[in-house]
Amino acid sequence: MFATLKIVLIAQLLFGSIGLLLGQSAFAQTCGGTGDRIVNKVIYDQVPATTYRLEYETVMDEQQVTTLRPEWTEEIRERRYTVAKPVTETLTREERFMTRRPVVQTEYREQAYDRTTLVPVTEMRQERYLVQRPVVETQVREQQYTVQRVVSQTVMQPQVYTTYQAVQNTQTQLVDQGRYETTYQPMARVRNRLFHTPGGYQANPVTGQMTYYHGGLRWVPTQGPTVLRPTTTYQPNVVQQEITTTSYQPGQVTQQVPVTVNRLAHEVVTQLVPFQVQRIQTEEVVREAPVVVQRPVTERVVDRVPVQTVRWEEQEHVRHVPYTVQRIEYDEKVEQVPVRTCRYVSETKTVQVPRTVAKWVPYTATRVRPRIVTMRVPSAPAMN
């Protein structure tokens, strides 16, 4: 449906454009000497059209559904099982092992050696050394330094400040006091009608080239009855008005102001400053110093040195070691256990199942159809 409407609209646009070209050529031949010009205008007409849209509707259907319902029953059953119980026993075993015990024996041996000892002896020796003693002397020197003294002076300094004066100005202002006026213009509707036109060369209004057209049926624009069309225009009315404004003009005023200026004057002062100079004086001093000297003394020493020897003796021991043995004993027991069993029972029910149904529903919509209107407008006279 939508594809058919598109094809119809495209065909109308093609036929309308061909008729517009032929109509322009026909009017150009007919009114070529009158000085009129052809104006094309596109008009959009609202055309009602019936289209279809897809709508969905939910329908409830009844169906037979078979379900399984569980039923639980409880019964007592005997359960036999074997229980394993560990039994622990303590036993004793003999262990024999050998040990080795050390036996120490002491023997004495004679050993002779020379021993040298140092004996301290005190002697007196002369020592010469240099001693540096500080000597302080007082001297005087001249020292000059600069002193800055403040000198005050009064100077006249110009000072500029700004003042404002009121000035009245008169200006001319243009004010628009126009109004809107409504006029009625005649307007004739142009429609395309099918006429038979002869063949021949005609000028293309777009490119300006001469093209040969075959004779036949063509869509030719035809003027309809005249209709008055209201048009609202604005008529300006410019009026001059005098407006007085007050403005402030700045001005500069210079004034002499006394200012106190302080400056620093430099002065050189000379004075005598005492200072101390320290120098080092070297002197030689002789003194008697005791010196301890170590002299070696050798003597023969004989010592008895003990020497120890170790031998190992083996000995057998017996000990009783306890150990634990574990064995498993099995006992059979009987227990009453409740057991639940389940069986399923079938049930049939009637349920409603939703189902979606699609259908095309017609509706009326308004569409816009373009239409080209060709009109003749008299040309404006040329200015000499």
Q: Estimate to the nearest angstrom the gap between the alpha carbon of 370 and the chain centroid.
A: 51
Per-residue pLDDT at 9 exceeds 60 = no
Is the separation of the CB atoms in 221 and 23 below 8 Å? yes
Is the separation of the CB atoms in 276 and 218 below 8 Å? no
**Residue 231 located in a structural domain:** no
Structure tokens at 355: 């189902």
The predicted-structure confidence for 300-320, as pLDDT tens digits, reads as follows 888 888 888 888 888 888 888
What DSSP designation does 132 have?
A: E
**Residue 230 located in a structural domain:** no
pLDDT of amino acid 270: 85
What DSSP designation does 164 have?
A: E
**Residue 21 located in a structural domain:** no
**Residue 190 located in a structural domain:** no
CA distance 291 to 124: 6
The predicted-structure confidence for 167-185, as pLDDT tens digits, reads as follows 777 888 787 777 777 776 6
**Residue 364 located in a structural domain:** yes
Q: Estimate to the nearest angstrom the gap between the alpha carbon of 282 and the chain centroid.
A: 84
pTM for the structure as a whole? 0.21
Over residues 66-89, mean pLDDT: 87
The domain of 254 spans 31-178+236-378
**Residue 209 located in a structural domain:** no
**Residue 25 located in a structural domain:** no
**Residue 291 located in a structural domain:** yes
Domain count, the chain: 1
The predicted-structure confidence for 15-59, as pLDDT tens digits, reads as follows 454 444 444 444 444 444 455 788 888 888 888 888 888 888 888
